[in-house]
Amino acid sequence: MKIKNICCIGAGYVGGPTMSIIAQKNPNIRVNVVDMNADKIAAWNSKNLDNLPVFEPGLSKVIKESRGKNLFFSTEVNKHIDEADMIFISVNTPTQTSGEGKGYAADLKYIEACAKQIAEVSRTDKIIVEKSTVPVRTSEKIKEILSLNNKDVDFQILSNPEFLAEGTAMRDLEIPDRVLIGGDNSPNGQRAIDSLVNIYLSWVPKENILTTNLWSSELSKLTANAFLAQRISSINSLSELCEETGADIEEVSKAIGMDSRIGPSFLKTSVGFGGSCFQKDILNLVYISRSLGLEKVAHYWEQILEINKHQRDRFSKKIIKCINDNNFNKSVIFLGWAFKKDTNDTRESAAIYVANNLLNEGISIHIYDPKVNSSQIKSDLFLLNPNVDTSKVNILSKPNSYFKKNNIIAILTEWDEFRDYAWTQIFKKMSKPAYVFDGRNILEKEKLESIGFNYIGLGR
C-alpha cells in the first residue's frame, strides 16, 4: 500500500523531529502532526523558529523547508486521524504514579486513549505505528482496543521504536544506525511492514532497516536503553573506586574503550544520567521481569538506578562537606540545568536532584543554563519536592556578577560554552578559596589549579 497521508499523534521531542525528517525526505506524503496541547502546536507553528517547543540543532532548518508544504502541525486530531493511511502514536509513556505498578510500570493511558480515539474516528483501513516506547506486548493491547471499538475497519499494528538521542536527534534521524520495524507475520502484516519500509527507504539504506516480529521490536527498545544506561552506571561506579585508589577514570575509560569488543561510547563518567527515558524504561523492564517472577533479572537491572542515585547523592555530599568544613557561605553556583548539552529538556536531569539535596541543607543555589528558563527550573524543583524553598533559588540570565560572592561552582551540564577559557577568567573573580566541582569532567584540572582553584572532578 502506497502511503499518501500520515498522522502523528504527539508533537513532542520524538513526534516533532521524527515527522519533520519523514516529511522532508518524502515530499509526496502529507504529514500532519497533531497534539491536544494547543500551546505546543502554536509554538510548532510560530513564525520565529527560535520559539519552536523543542530545541535541537538542525531542527529549525528542516522545519523551515517542509512546514506549510507537506508538514503541518494541528490540534484537529479527529480530522487528521480520519484522513490518514498511516498513524504514528508518539505520545508520552511515563512511569505510573498510582495503582498497581506505581513507581515502576509504564503508564499506558495516553496510548490507550489514542487507540480508542482512532477506533472511534476511523472509516477506512489504517496502519497504526507504535513510535512511543512501550512494554513488550503493548501492540496486543492496542489491537484489542481497536477491534473492540471498531469492527468495520482493518487495522494493522507495527512497532517502530525511536532510537534518537536529544541534542543529536537530527543527525540520528538522518543517518540512523538502524531502523527497527516489527509486524505481524501474516500477508496483511507483511504488506504493512513494506509500506513503512518504503517510507524509510527514501533516505535509509536497505541494509540498515531491520524487520522483526512485534514483541522483539518492542523489547529491543527497552533493552537498548537499559544497555546504554548500564554502561554509564558501570563507569560511574568505577569513578568512586578511582577516587579511593588514585586511578584516573578518564584514563580507565580510554583504556577499556579501545578494546573493540567494548568500544568507546557511553563511557563518560558524570554526575548521573538524566533524560525522560533511561530511568522510566529500566523501571519498566524491572517491573516486567518481576511480574513474570524473574526476581534475579529484576534485581540486576534495578542496580543501574541504584548506582545512578548514589552518584548524584555522593556528588551533593562532597559539596555539602566542603561548605561545612570551610565554613563557607551557604551558596553555590550551578552551571547547567538541562540533562545534557544541546537540549532544552530537563526531565530527570541530575541537576534537579543535586539542587534538591543542597536546598534541603539550607544552601542557596544560583543557576545558569543557556537554554532553560526560570519557570521550567522552578517547576522541576517543585515536581520533585513540593515543599521546596524556592526563595533560595536564584536563576541567572548571566552569571558573572554572582561569581564574586561565591566559593563554590558546580558543573551540572556539559555545555560547550562552559569549557571556554573565558569561564576560567570569570572564575578568577570568585571568593577565595574557590572550588570547582566538575560533575561532567569537562574542565582542565591543571589549568584551573594554575590559577589557584581547587578542582574536584569525578574519579580523578
Per-residue mark of binding to ligand UGA, 208-247 (x: CB under 6 A)? -----------------x--x---x---------------
Q: Which does 225 bind (CB under 5 to 8 A by kind): ligand NAD, ligand UGA, none?
A: ligand UGA
In the bound state with ligand UGA, the residue whose beta carbon lies nearer, of 17 and 189, is 17
Chain-centre distance of CA 295, in angstroms? 27
Q: Which does 266 bind (CB under 5 to 8 A by kind): ligand UGA, ligand NAD, none?
A: ligand UGA
Write the CA distances from 263 to 32, 256, 307, integer angstroms: 39, 8, 22
Considering the candidates 114, 242, 277, 322, report the single residue annotated as catalytic.
277
Task: Assess contact for 117 and 81: CB atoms under 8 A.
Answer: yes
Q: Facing residues of 319 across strands?
A: none
Cβ neighbors of 261 (< 8 A, separation 6 or more) are: none
- Beta carbon of residue 186, minimum distance to ligand UGA (angstroms, whole number): 29
Binding track, positions 276-305, relative to ligand UGA; x by CB under 6 A: -xx---------------------------
Q: Which of 67, 69, 89 is nearest to 12 (CA)?
A: 89
Give the single-character DSSP code of 362.
Answer: T
**Minimum CB distance to ligand UGA smaller for 184 or for 414:** 414
Tell me the sheet residues that pair with 364.
331
Q: Decide: is 59 part of the binding site for ligand NAD (CB under 6 A).
A: no
Which cell goes with 326?
A: 570551610
**Is position 270 an interface residue for ligand UGA (rule: CB under 6 A)?**
yes
The closest residue (CB) to ligand NAD is: 12
Integer Cα distance of 137 and 159 in angstroms: 10
Q: Which stretch binds ligand NAD (CB under 6 A): 86-94, 354-362, 375-383, 415-423?
A: 86-94
Number of neighbouring beta carbons within 10 Å of residue 449: 12
Number of residues engaging ligand NAD in binding (CB under 6 A): 26
- Find where cell 527497552 sits: 222
- By CB under 6 A, tell whether 150 contacts ligand NAD: no
Q: Which residue type sits at 355?
A: A
Which residues partner with 159 through β-bridges? 130, 182
Tell which one of 7, 8, 13, 86 touches ligand NAD (CB under 6 A): 13
The one of ligand NAD, ligand UGA, none whose footprint includes residue 113, by CB under 5 to 8 A per kind, is ligand NAD
Q: Given the rule CB under 6 A, which of 118-126, 184-192, 263-271, 380-388 is the region that contacts ligand UGA?
A: 263-271
Q: Does 346 bind ligand NAD (CB under 6 A)?
A: no
Partner from ligand NAD, ligand UGA, none binding residue 396, C-beta < 5-8 Å depending on class: none
Asked if 277 is an active-site residue, the reply is: yes
Residue partners of 21: CB distance under 8 A and separation at least 6: 62, 170, 173, 174, 203
* 263: alpha, beta or left? (left if phi > 0; alpha if psi -120 to 50): left
Would you say 189 or 274 has its CB closer to ligand UGA?
Answer: 274
Contact call for residues 460 and 248 (beta carbons, < 8 A): yes
Site string (95-114) toward ligand NAD, x via CB under 6 A: ---------------x--xx
Strands 86-89 and 126-130: parallel
Query: Of the candidates 55, 88, 110, 273, which one interacts with ligand UGA according to CB under 6 A?
Result: 273
Beta strands (DSSP E) in 36-147 are: 71-74, 86-89, 126-130
What Cα–Cα distance (Å) separates residue 69 from each residue in 23, 28, 173?
A: 9, 10, 20
**Which parts of this chain interact with ligand NAD (CB under 6 A)?**
9-15, 35-37, 40, 77, 90-93, 110, 113-114, 132-133, 162, 164, 166, 276-277
Catalytic residues, which ones? 277
**Which parts of this chain interact with ligand UGA (CB under 6 A)?**
133, 162-166, 225, 228, 232, 266-268, 270, 273-275, 277-278, 339-340
